[in-house]
Amino acid sequence: MSALISILAIYFFIFIGYLAKKIFKDEIDKKTLILISIYFLQPILTFWGLTRIPLNFNIILTPFIYFITITSTLLLLIVISKYLFKESKEQSIFIATSLIGNTGNLGIPLGIALFGEASIAYTSIINIANIFFIYTVGIYLFAKESFTFKQSLLSMVKIPILWFAIIALLFNYNNFKININIDNALQMGAYSAIVIQLIIFGIYLAKVNLKEQNYLLSISTSTIKLVILPIMGIIFSIMFNLEPSIASILIVSLSTPLAVNNVNIAALFNCKPYAVTNIVFISTLLFLIIFYFDLQIINMVFK
């Protein structure tokens, strides 16, 4: 019940974005919010999150298993996509959105609700791993239709979040201390990033037209994200003998629905952003049903 309440509380901000767009229509410029989020607030969120976590073996192992899970599934999807979809953009959307989960906006609060504050270190580092994937492989997949590989690579390098992550890791490794007043400001920016992301999603939902829904794309993507990816995570967690409590946190993060960042990047590179929003919307609805069964499987395997 606490997990459900947490989800509903978080999605209140999505409703604010939805309502704002419905009321103010074209006065709301979603692209402005996207640019502010990607180039200013998300780097703050990344830096703040990485400086929360003292580096240790489990914190390094957890994102490593996450990367192996994502990469293995990526290779599988590259093959499957060619049989499911003829259009190259739809193949890219299927591959990217299936793997980019809502590990930050939903994964971190869910971790707190289910496992307590001890989970924050692990959900934060998993979110950072997810962010690295988003701004490398994710950007390439969304951008390749409109940009050459060289242009896509330059787009990745220009995204400041990667550089802020490197700086944060250096801070963490060298055990530098951040002034408490600066840290408080970083925390404000971090939470602002999360809220803005949810509001952006709500703005896009206001334009969702279910009559134009590509149900093959939405259902196949949601199945990979909500069912196949958690199963792959369980397999690799067992193979690497990850501690049961930490493995449970990892699987919950892998079980989250599609991230709003999918919409951000699709919009930034003109890769059917409203189609992507429809997919995120469907996966969010299915998540509320499927996540209960995910929790039962987690309890059965890791308890």
Predicted confidence at residue 68, as pLDDT, reads 94
Predicted confidence at residue 279, as pLDDT, reads 87
Predicted confidence at residue 130, as pLDDT, reads 86
pTM exceeding 0.75: yes
Predicted confidence at residue 48, as pLDDT, reads 86
pLDDT along the chain (303 residues), means of 10: 71 89 87 86 84 80 93 93 89 89 81 81 85 79 68 69 84 87 92 86 77 82 93 94 92 88 77 83 86 86 81
Cα(271)–Cα(269) distance, integer angstroms:
6
Cα(57)–Cα(47) distance, integer angstroms:
20
Predicted confidence at residue 235, as pLDDT, reads 95
Q: What domains lie within the chain, and their CATH numbers?
A: 2-302 (1.20.1530)
Predicted confidence at residue 153, as pLDDT, reads 62
